[in-house]
Chains A and B, each alone.
Chain A
Amino acid sequence: MSGNNVGDKVDANSTLNSKNISLPMSRVKLIMKSSPDVSSINQDALFLTTKATELFVQHLAQCSYKNGSGKEKTTLAYSDLANAAEESETFQFLTDILPKKILARDYLRSLEERQEDGDD
């Protein structure tokens, strides 16, 4: 009853339109319960959270894909996500887990510069 086989019969469009959901509610419930102060969760609330998470995944993927370039992209890359997190207000809460990546040598260089400033 873990719901892992939920996805088997779901059509391509059903995640958008029908009551059917692909993500297992049991797993979502586990995550919700790890939040402090949460005692119990009504079944409808669990359903809504699961469905909302699916909508969120779609939204994040689409926004990140469309972000910036305007060119036809063939691959959605990590940097697209990091950019979306930084540039969009709605995704601000993700900036900690989707940090922009910089080259190690650039980071070391900026560290050195900071130390030099400190010495003065």
Chain B
Amino acid sequence: MAERPEDLNLPNAVITRIIKEALPEGVNVSKEARKAISQAASVFVLYATSCANNFAMKAKRKTLNAGDVLAAMEEMEFERFLQPLREALEAYKKGQKGKREASEQKRKDKEKKTDTEETDKSKEEEEEEEEEERMEEEQEGENEGEEEEVEN
């Protein structure tokens, strides 16, 4: 097969780690095997996307949604993935919701403070700090997905 551009491949280090964790300890993986699995994973993404897209088009939608992906898994005979995927999605959505609620809560708290307090200057400083914290949390949350650890 022809060389593919780097950005259509998945990061080698991560692929390697997933493989090693799936196999018994001490098992080696040849470089060729690693590369092949990585390519297979990219092909899997394409196949799954194409399949999910068919479901979306049938429903006359232009946006692929979660249901389309799950339907694709079943179509591709990966029913074994359905349960773990549903569970993972629940946890993911909760994490996203928690992040949104946390930032909404902070906004509400700020509003309360500006209503009841008259000393604006010190409050402004506090607000700025909170803004920065929130922005950092959001960035970290997006990068790592571990909102539980990030929230105080």
Contact = CB atoms under 8 A, between A and B. Distances in A.
B32 A45 contact: no
Interface in B1-27: 1, 7-8, 10-11, 13-15, 17-19, 21-23, 26-27
Nearest to A41: B64
Interface residues of B, number: 70
B37 A61 contact: yes
Interface of A: 1, 3-9, 12, 15-16, 18-24, 27-28, 30-32, 34-35, 37-45, 47-49, 51-62, 64-65, 73-78, 80-81, 89-90, 93-94, 97-98
B144 interface: yes
Given A49-B48, A51-B85, A53-B44, A44 B92 contact: yes
Contact of B43 (A8, A28, A73, A93): A93
Contacts of A39: 62-63
Contacts of B23: 61-62, 65, 76
B9 to A, nearest CB: 8
A76 B10 contact: no
A37 B37 contact: no
Contacts of A38: 49, 53, 64
Given A34-B8, A45-B69, A5 B143 contact: yes
Nearest first, the 10 closest Cβ-Cβ pairs linking A and B are A19-B91, A58-B22, A44-B66, A78-B32, A19-B92, A48-B69, A75-B28, A39-B62, A32-B49, A35-B49
A76 B33 contact: yes
**Secondary structure class of chain B's binding surface, majority of residues:** helix
**Secondary structure class of chain A's binding surface, majority of residues:** helix
A103 to B, nearest CB: 16
A9 B148 CA distance: 13
Interface string B40-80: 11111111111011000100001111101110010011101
B105 to A, nearest CB: 21
Nearest to A94: B40
B30 to A, nearest CB: 5
B102 interface: no
Contacts of A21: 88, 145
